Structure 1
Amino acid sequence: MRLDKFLKVSRIVKRRAVAKEIADKGRITINDRPAKSSSEVHVGDKLVISFGNKTLTVQVKQLLDTTKKDDAAMMYEIISEDYAKNFDQE
């Protein structure tokens, strides 16, 4: 399954166009390798996604072409969720 489709179907990212943009800017890695929106995602892959001040690390559990909202979270497991410290607020 394409990376941008996985991110949209799993609801990690709300829109496929946004997933494509994030991936094509080099803000996603699959198994520690830079990924493009067209990169293939497989069960067991580790994705690291950088959203602004947040870095989300997930492991792919299953691939589904379509999901209901309740089933989307079963497609992946969150390994870590890190937030960058904002030094302006100290």
Structure 2
Amino acid sequence: MAKEIADKGRITIDDKIAKSSTDVAVGDKLTISFGNKTLTVRVISLKETVKKDEATELYEIIAEDFKENFK
């Protein structure tokens, strides 16, 4: 899913459009847009493997925005 979102131009790293092959470094600011939500996080740590319950230790949420759909 992450590759698909990245290849559609919905992820930026430090305000530059990222592709699925773009390297990520500690300190980078990632903005991810999916559905009606935009999430901005800062990378705190990188690891080759990590358990699901430890993943939240690798980033901090900077902003979380929701767009409402009006019909």
TM-score class, shorter-chain normalisation, is: over 0.9
- Return 5+ residue gaps in structure 2 as ranges: none
Greater strand proportion: 2
CA distance in 2, matches of 1:26, 1:70: 28
Root-mean-square deviation (CA, aligned residues, Å) is 0.7
Q: 2:53 aligns with which of 70, 74, 80?
A: 70
User: Normalising to structure 2: TM-score of the pair?
Assistant: 0.95
Greater helix proportion: 1
CA distance in 2, matches of 1:27, 1:42: 18
User: Normalising to structure 1: TM-score of the pair?
Assistant: 0.76
Q: 2:41 aligns with which of 47, 58, 69?
A: 58
**What is the aligned length?**
71
- Return 5+ residue gaps in structure 1 as ranges: 1-17
Percent of matched pairs sharing the same residue = 68
